[in-house]
Amino acid sequence: MNWRTFVALLSRDAHVARRNIIPLMLQTLFQPMLFVFVFGRIMTRSGLMAEQYKSMLLPGIIAVSMVLSGIWAVAMPLIAEFQFSKEIEDRLLAPIEIEWVAVEKMVGGMLQALFAGLVVLPIAWFVMGGVDLDGASTLSLLSIALLVALLAAGIGLTLGCSVGQTQIGLMFSLVMAPMIFFGCTYYPWQALAPFPLLQRIVLINPLVYASEGFRGALVPHFPHLSMPAVTGSLIGFDTIFVTVGLRQFRKKALG
Amino acid sequence: MAVGIRTRQLRKIYTSPPPMAAGAARGVGFSLSKREKPRERIEIVALDDLSLEVAAGEIFGLLGPNGAGKSTTVGVVTTRIRPTAGDAWIGPHNVWQERVAVKRLIGVVPQRPNLDFGLTAREILTFHGAYFGLSAAERHERANALLDRFRLTDRANQLLFGFSGGMMQRLSIARAMMHDPELLFLDEPSAGLDPQTRLLLWDIVREYHGRGKTILLTTHNMEEADALCGRIAIIDHGRVIALGTPAELKRSLPGGFLVRLQFDRVSEEMLQGLRRLAGVSEVRGSDDSGVDVYADRGGSLVPEIVNVATAAQAAVRDVHISEPSLENLFLHHTGRSLRE
């Protein structure tokens, strides 16, 4: 392992991300913010939604923003760089094992996901006109945030090395959209109780644990999945996606 | 310390279309009906027991038509393609087992520029230097020198959108030289370059070689191989079919001159007649009406050929004379032109 090369690879990604920071942020955060405004502000103010809904919504919005940003940050450049431009070649020829190029991509994605969370939390809180965060635990917030960031980066790596350029549209409509809508982002898992089958099925969706984890960390007095279950599941999903992603990366990178 | 390259019985068989590292365009189709039509199992032999030895400090050329295995060979010795069998070494390092050590020694210019579109021309060089652990001062100094040498200084701070093919090619080569590798791989370096830039490239390659570096270049341009290379391996279907200095290779060609003829009809009697002409060393009927004559002279042979044809009641339709060249050599060994 060659730290100097690793840091140089990371600073290249940081440099490019910095250059594109505004479109990058808008791409992944604008839609969740609109959602926050419409459901968290308009609907609650007008009385169509209970005031408590804001507390349900905030953790879900953080989860979806982080997951989307992280996936986007890792998958989109990889898809482009592995395709016709083959830009990644230069980094695969850098004096470091190629797996570290993938790890570097994930670290970059994690940092972007954490940054997204850091930006969204205060903005969403402000847009909704204040959310009651009594009982929030910094420690569990941090650990959930790290696990969710790694999850996003792992999914990004897996998708980025499995999806072709022509399939990006399909990736969004067939993978991302159902993941978001059945990810307990806009409602707590418990709200699915009237649909017992669906409630079981959504458990295969890793975003569920991200949303519920943030609920447990930020608004623990509202119903949420138990924290040990959430943490365990996130660790499990992280392991799966990182392993599969690294394998796909190797397969894609070496002829 | 210059390093050489050695390969021993390299084999590479692709069971799916060659990947990006081999420089091939990759299909990006998508099918939801995979089960209905089971995919045909393809097997492409790209390298067929290829053994090569490139000495430290030489300019070595791999010459061959498209699909001969040139890029796959480069891919294998630059750590990017795993061989199906066989071994390759860069200096003392086994390429597949000591990839990081190998990557430190080599610089690679791919067939198609794969430059980083997120960065400016200067940043492409400085970040590349950073990957190889150069200090900030070294990076800037070298980047400036290379930008200047490759006449890119005025566009140095621009992103690559709008760069011409030639500019990108120059920048690719500059990038490969950025970390001052002992061994430089140039895969079809002058494809798509205008004649002026090609000459600049040749100068730069000679200059780099003059500093004791080893250079391996692939090309299907005879002139380039002839002008630059100390030794050449002609490869086809993943095998070395001829190896030597350009002069040796050309000498090995029977006669040296190649007279390609088209007749309205060809008879055995006429072929015999052609073989008996003075200076003719080999006569090959290539198809129904085409005949290749290898001889030690060119133009002066034509009237005699016409006489032989007339005697055999045939008429000459077309004559093409080419002087001793690697192109003819390739044709002689494979029966195909390099450009086919």
- Measure the CA–CA gap between A123 and A184, rounded to whole angstroms: 21
B234 and B124 within one domain: yes
Going by their DSSP bridges, the two strands B59-63 and B231-236 should be labelled as: parallel
CB contact under 8 A, B20 and A95: no
**pLDDT greater than 70 at residue B34:** no
Into how many domains does chain B fold? 2
Domain end residue (candidates: B199, B227, B250)? B250
Going by their DSSP bridges, the two strands B183-187 and B106-109 should be labelled as: parallel
Q: Is the dihedral of CA B155, B158, B162, B166 positive or negative?
A: positive
Where does the pLDDT of residue A59 fall: very low under 50, low under 70, confident under 90, or very high at 90 and above? very high
> B253 near B327, Cβ under 8 Å?
no
Please indicate, yes or no, if residue B69 is contained in any of the structural domains.
yes
pLDDT at position A154, please?
A: 97
pLDDT at position B191, please?
A: 78
Please indicate, yes or no, if residue B204 is contained in any of the structural domains.
yes
B179 and B107 within one domain: yes
**B15 contacts in A (CB within 8 Å)?**
none
Q: How far is B207 from chain A (nearest CA, A)?
A: 24
pLDDT at position A150, please?
A: 98
Which residue, among B14, B95, B100, would best test binding to A if mutated, counting the most A CBs under 10 Å from its CB? B100
| Type and span of the H or E element at B157 | none
Segment B107-129 shows an average pLDDT of 93
List the one residue out of A123, A154, A132, A127 whose CA is nearest residue A215. A132
B192 and B293 within one domain: no
CATH code, domain carrying B289: 3.30.70.920
CA distances from B262 to A31, B305, B321 (A): 71, 11, 12
- Measure the CA–CA gap between A54 and A167, rounded to whole angstroms: 35
**Spacing of C-alpha A52 from chain mean position:** 24
CB contact under 8 A, A164 and B30: yes
Q: How far is A5 from chain B (nearest CA, A)?
A: 5
- Measure the CA–CA gap between B27 and A131, rounded to whole angstroms: 50
B179 and B309 within one domain: no
Please indicate, yes or no, if residue B340 is contained in any of the structural domains.
no
B158 and B222 within one domain: yes
| B118 CB within 8 Å of a chain A CB | yes
pLDDT digits (tens, 9 = 90+) for B267-301: 888 888 888 888 888 888 877 788 888 888 878 88
pLDDT digits (tens, 9 = 90+) for A185-243: 999 999 999 999 999 999 999 999 999 999 999 999 989 999 999 999 999 999 999 99
**pLDDT greater than 90 at residue B312:** no
Least reliable range by pLDDT among A221-235, B69-83, B185-199, B314-328: B314-328
**pLDDT greater than 80 at residue B136:** yes
Cβ neighbours of residue B263 under 8 Å, at least 6 residues apart?
Answer: B270, B289, B290, B291, B309, B314, B315, B316, B317
Give the closest of B22, B99, B128 to A90, CB-based.
B128
**pLDDT greater than 90 at residue B60:** yes
CATH code, domain carrying B49: 3.40.50.300
pLDDT digits (tens, 9 = 90+) for B325-336: 777 777 777 776
**A97 contacts in B (CB within 8 Å)?**
99-100
List the one residue out of B219, B237, B238, B236 whose CA is nearest residue B228. B219
Where does the pLDDT of residue B30 fall: very low under 50, low under 70, confident under 90, or very high at 90 and above? very low
Cβ neighbours of residue B79 under 8 Å, at least 6 residues apart?
Answer: A93, B95, B96, B99, B102, B103
B275 and B149 within one domain: no
CB contact under 8 A, B110 and A89: yes
B78 and B207 within one domain: yes
* DSSP-assigned letter for residue B153: G
Least reliable range by pLDDT among A23-27, A82-86, B12-16: A82-86
pLDDT at position B308, please?
A: 87
- Residues from A in contact with B at Cβ < 8 Å: 2, 4-5, 8-9, 11-12, 15-16, 19-20, 77, 82-98, 164-167, 170, 252-255
> What is the extent of the structural domain holding B220?
5-18+44-250
Segment B180-206 shows an average pLDDT of 89
Q: How far is A239 from chain B (nearest CA, A)?
A: 26
More confident residue, A22 or A200: A200
Residues in chain A, overall count: 255
pLDDT at position B190, please?
A: 82
Query: How many contacts does A have with B, using Cβ atoms within 8 A?
Result: 106
Where does the pLDDT of residue A132 fall: very low under 50, low under 70, confident under 90, or very high at 90 and above? confident
Q: How many CB atoms lie within 10 A of CB A241?
A: 22
Complex ipTM tops 0.95: no
More confident residue, B140 or B331: B140
Domain end residue (candidates: B235, B250, B265)? B250
For B23, nearest residue in chain A (alpha carbons): A86
Domain end residue (candidates: B191, B217, B250)? B250
CB contact under 8 A, B131 and A15: no
Chain B 260-299, CB below 8 Å of chain A: which residues?
none
Segment B194-204 shows an average pLDDT of 89
**B75 contacts in A (CB within 8 Å)?**
255
CB contact under 8 A, B30 and A87: no
CB contact under 8 A, B21 and A170: no
pLDDT digits (tens, 9 = 90+) for A73-104: 999 999 988 886 788 999 999 999 999 999 99
